[in-house]
Amino acid sequence: MKNFVAAFYGSFGQNKAFATIFTPMFIETSLGNHHHAGRKGQVEVICGSMFSGKTEELIRRLNRALIARQKVEIFKPAIDQRYHAKNVVSHDETVIRSTPVQFADDILLLAGNCDVVGIDEVQFFDNQIVAVAERLAASGVRVILAGLDMDFEGKPFEPMPQLMAIAEYVTKVHAICMKCGDLAAFSYRLSGEKSKVMLGEKESYEARCRRCFYGNKN
């Protein structure tokens, strides 16, 4: 019996140590909806460079909410015409259209009684998006924002830093450096164009690691 207890606590201790050491990087959020005393909103940010799979991660989270029959809406800035008004989320017969909006405030008018609001290409919104995210979360909405955290010069891309500061959860996803194959956090612009917002064409950019980003600046 003593041995059993020792073995039990021994293995318990080991598992505990295991759990401590291998606590996974945040992937699944703790959702506020499972208590019945009203919904508890929250803000989640998915950030990273181009080609890092931000939109895919946003879609993964929204799809899971759809499967649970939650009411989901997706918004994106009207400035981003790359994908036009095409559907970005589909699950079986359920398809959600992403709605292009001109101003961040428009989202408040359009979000209705959503459980989950997804916002893509957040870096192209005005700073008002921060207040919008806070308002939505305060009213019980789970707000998931995806966007570039750095511009093509490696500088923080407003309003993303503000959103990262106020979010409960921030997930930074990475691309693969197109020069060396390391993890990449930077979006390197191949053309000499200097405007911050160059929409575009993915062929004008490469995902790069820090060394390849700063080492090969032309």
Of 134 and 182, nearer to Zn ion (C-beta) is 182
Longest dimension (CA), the chain: 74
**For residues 40 and 141, is the Cβ–Cβ distance under 8 A?**
no
Applying CB under 5 A, the span of 11-19, 40-48, 117-125, 180-188 interacting with Zn ion comes to: 180-188
**Which position among 28, 121, 134, 193 bears the catalytic label?**
121
Among 39, 40, 174, 179, binds Zn ion (CB under 5 A): 179
**Catalytic residue check, 57:** no
Q: What are the start-end ranges of the H helices in the chain?
A: 2-21, 54-67, 104-110, 128-138, 160-166, 210-215
**For residues 133 and 166, is the Cβ–Cβ distance under 8 A?**
yes
**For residues 32 and 138, is the Cβ–Cβ distance under 8 A?**
no
Does residue 91 touch Zn ion according to CB under 5 A? no
Does residue 210 touch Zn ion according to CB under 5 A? no
Does residue 212 touch Zn ion according to CB under 5 A? yes
Residue 38 backbone zone (phi > 0: left; psi -120 to 50: alpha; other: beta):
left
Q: DSSP for 37-80?
A: SS---EEEEEEE-TTS-HHHHHHHHHHHHHHTT--EEEEEETT-
Applying CB under 5 A, the span of 28-36, 52-60, 78-86, 174-182 interacting with Zn ion comes to: 174-182
181 is in an annotated binding site: no
Burial class from Cβ neighbours inside 10 Å (0-12, 13-18, 19+) for residue 61 reads: buried
Of 105 and 182, nearer to Zn ion (C-beta) is 182
Binding mask 124-163 for Zn ion (x = CB under 5 A): ----------------------------------------
Does residue 214 touch Zn ion according to CB under 5 A? no
Does residue 177 touch Zn ion according to CB under 5 A? yes
Neighbouring CB atoms inside 10 A of 57's CB total 18
41 is in an annotated binding site: no
Site for Zn ion in 10-49 (CB under 5 A): none
Does residue 165 touch Zn ion according to CB under 5 A? no
In angstroms, the CA 73 to CA 59 distance is 11
Does residue 175 touch Zn ion according to CB under 5 A? no
32 is in an annotated binding site: no
Catalytic positions are 121
**Residues at the interface with Zn ion (CB under 5 A):** 177, 179-180, 182, 209, 212
